[in-house]
């Protein structure tokens, strides 16, 4: 199949997947025949068949003999978690010990892991990545023996600027700084705009890696109430800006980690305007934007910024090549300061890897790759939600993100996620307890489950077992003494 046809079938499949997950196409509803859809889209019937096979593989549609194709029935769903209600004051951070323990086990041999938000190697075009690195090493072999200096290879910075157009951002390649990861970019941004003891506002719950950075820099976390579907509460943020000495906001507007929430487009514009009125910088993490199933929610807050207050940070570790460890940042009005901090902290990256990433970003199949990745992980998330609904304790709640491979489960109050974590470890299963994702103890009955890793019958059984262990803990806590 040529590249154009490859892109067409994936485009059709993703469009229908979005309609199914949004409810536009109802479960059990009959969908157009192959012939009808081919006429509607002006494509060959073989292209539609390929699209339907993709949707079948994702368990979103099913073929019924002599009846056609129908939207597949979905397991009974659980309600979503409640919006968070963190304390009004900022707090010091201390989560690194628990986080280090979880991450050390997340990839340990012999463990079934839902503890890390890391996609497995089989989700990526491994041969394409290998060829890109091989070409770069051959064409730029002298760079392997030369000390790299500067903000990053020009070809990569131009490729990143073109990539940012997908998020509505018009970046100047000269302002982009290549980093070792998205986390390094965020760390540099925080160092540029804060001092030890300053207050940083962020979502609640938030990514434990952010809390570890705040802890290492001596910063205080001010957690802002966050809705599991629509993200950061701007009303609560406004109150915080009016009453607290906030120096910066660190947020993930698209597919936040761990909730998977995505801020509506109008709220993104409003957020940019709010920060401009207060002169507060936003450090925007766009790591997951390409995994979002909804086009409008891939647009970055930076695209609405007219004052250089939004520092946008990203990488390709979740979408193209985790092993290359390449991130980037456009720091707005703090660009010069960030460039000096980067040079004094870690210098430059390997030119060969930068050229390989530039190659990967400019290949014609990249959009098809994103579509395929969204389809595969979407199917895993749907299946995992069904297992959670079937096996987890009565009263559990689970998120339904518009993309990505992370689920946040709110268990009954009778289940302590740290107890569940320890019970799972005895059976060589790793999960991430909710206490990792806050400077408070408010999420002790929650867990984050990453389903982007290996996924097969062993993982399905392990996830069901996590639910069974949670049921046992719930019964133990509620049984009479």
Whole-Å CA distances, 397 to 41, 81, 208, 220, 388? 39, 5, 21, 30, 9
Question: Contact at 8 Å (CB) between 383 and 185?
Answer: no
Find the range with the poorest average confidence among 177-186, 421-430, 468-477.
Answer: 468-477
Coil, strand or helix: which one is 393?
A: coil
Q: What angle do CA 161, 162, 167 make, to 5 degrees?
A: 85
Q: Phi first, then psi: what are they for 283, rounded to 5°?
A: -95, 105
Residue 334 has pLDDT above 60, yes or no: yes
Burial 337-356 (b: 16+ CB within 10 A, else e): ebbebbeeeeebbbbbbbbb
pLDDT of res. 259: 97
Residue 283, token pair as written in the block: 């450090």
**What percent of the chain is modeled with pLDDT above 70?**
96
Q: How many other CB atoms are found less than 10 A from the CB of residue 368?
A: 19
Tell me the CATH class for 126-362.
alpha beta
Whole-Å CA distances, 78 to 289, 315, 413? 25, 33, 16
pLDDT of res. 74: 61
Question: Contact at 8 Å (CB) between 376 and 353?
Answer: no
Question: Contact at 8 Å (CB) between 110 and 450?
Answer: no
Architecture of the domain delimited by 3-71: Orthogonal Bundle (1.10)
Q: What angle do CA 271, 167, 170 make, to 5 degrees?
A: 90
Q: Average pLDDT in the 131-146 region?
A: 88
Q: For residue 197, give the DSSP letter.
A: T
**What percent of the chain is modeled with pLDDT above 90?**
62
Q: How confident is the prediction for the chain on average, in pLDDT?
A: 90
Question: Contact at 8 Å (CB) between 302 and 169?
Answer: yes
pLDDT in tens, 71-89: 886 655 678 898 888 887 8
For the chain, the helix, strand and coil percentages under 3-state DSSP, each to the nearest 5: 50, 15, 35
Residue 151 has pLDDT above 70, yes or no: yes
Question: Contact at 8 Å (CB) between 176 and 330?
Answer: yes
Query: Which stretches within 363-456 are classed as H helix?
Result: 366-391, 417-426
Pairing of strands 282-285, 246-251: parallel
Q: How many other CB atoms are found less than 10 A from the CB of residue 167?
A: 20
Tell me the CATH class for 96-122+367-478.
alpha beta
In sequence order, what are the beta bridge partners of 314?
328
Its pTM stands at 0.86
**H, E, C per residue of 72-98:** CCCCCCCCCCCCCCCCCCCECCCCHHH
Pairing of strands 432-433, 446-450: antiparallel
Q: Which of 343, 337, 349, 347 shows the shortest CA–CA distance to 191?
A: 337
Domain boundaries, the chain: 3-71, 96-122+367-478, 126-362
Query: Which stretches within 350-416 are classed as H helix?
Result: 351-362, 366-391
């Amino acid at each position: 199949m040529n590249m154009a046809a490859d892109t067409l079938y994936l485009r059709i499949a993703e469009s229908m997947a979005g309609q199914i997950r949004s409810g536009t196409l109802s479960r059990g509803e009959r969908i157009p025949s192959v012939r009808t859809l081919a006429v509607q889209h002006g494509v060959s019937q073989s292209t539609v068949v390929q699209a339907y096979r993709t949707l079948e593989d994702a368990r979103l549609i099913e073929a019924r003999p002599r009846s056609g194709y129908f939207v597949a029935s979905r397991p009974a769903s659980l309600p979503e978690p409640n919006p968070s209600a963190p304390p009004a004051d900022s707090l010091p951070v201390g989560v690194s010990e628990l986080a280090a323990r979880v991450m050390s086990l997340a990839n340990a041999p012999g463990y079934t892991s839902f503890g890390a938000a890391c996609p497995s190697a089989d989700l990526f075009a491994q041969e394409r990545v290998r060829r890109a690195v091989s070409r770069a090493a051959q064409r730029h072999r002298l760079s392997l023996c030369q000390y790299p200096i500067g903000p990053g290879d020009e070809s990569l910075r131009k490729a990143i600027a073109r990539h940012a157009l997908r998020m509505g951002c018009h970046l100047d390649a000269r302002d982009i700084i290549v980093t070792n990861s998205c986390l390094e970019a965020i760390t540099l941004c925080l160092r540029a705009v804060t001092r030890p003891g300053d207050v940083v506002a962020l979502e609640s719950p938030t990514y434990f890696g952010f809390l570890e950075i705040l802890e290492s820099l001596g910063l205080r976390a001010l957690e802002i109430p966050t809705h599991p579907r629509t993200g950061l509460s701007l009303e609560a943020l406004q109150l915080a800006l009016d009453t607290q000495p906030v120096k910066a906001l660190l947020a993930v507007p698209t597919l936040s980690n761990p909730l998977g929430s995505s801020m509506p487009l109008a709220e993104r514009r409003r957020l940019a305007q709010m920060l401009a009125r207060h002169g507060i910088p936003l450090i925007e993490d766009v790591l997951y934007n390409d995994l979002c199933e909804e086009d409008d929610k891939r647009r970055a807050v930076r695209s609405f910024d007219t004052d250089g207050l939004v520092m946008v940070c990203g990488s390709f570790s979740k979408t193209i090549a985790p092993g290359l460890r390449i991130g980037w940042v456009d720091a707005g009005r703090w660009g010069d300061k960030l460039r000096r901090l980067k040079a004094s902290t870690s210098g430059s990256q390997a030119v060969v890897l930068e050229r390989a990433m530039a190659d990967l970003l400019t290949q014609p199949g990249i959009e098809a790759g994103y579509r395929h990745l969204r389809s595969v992980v979407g199917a895993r998330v749907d299946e995992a939600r069904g297992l959670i609904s079937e096996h987890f304790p009565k009263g559990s709640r689970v998120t339904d993100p518009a993309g990505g491979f992370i689920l946040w489960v709110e268990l009954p109050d009778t289940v302590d996620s740290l107890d569940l974590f320890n019970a799972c470890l005895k059976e060589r299963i790793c999960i991430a307890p909710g206490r990792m994702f806050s400077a408070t103890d408010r999420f002790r009955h929650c867990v984050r489950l990453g389903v982007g890793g290996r996924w097969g019958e062993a993982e399905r059984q392990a996830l069901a077992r996590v639910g069974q262990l949670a049921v046992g803990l719930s019964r133990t806590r509620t049984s009479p003494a």
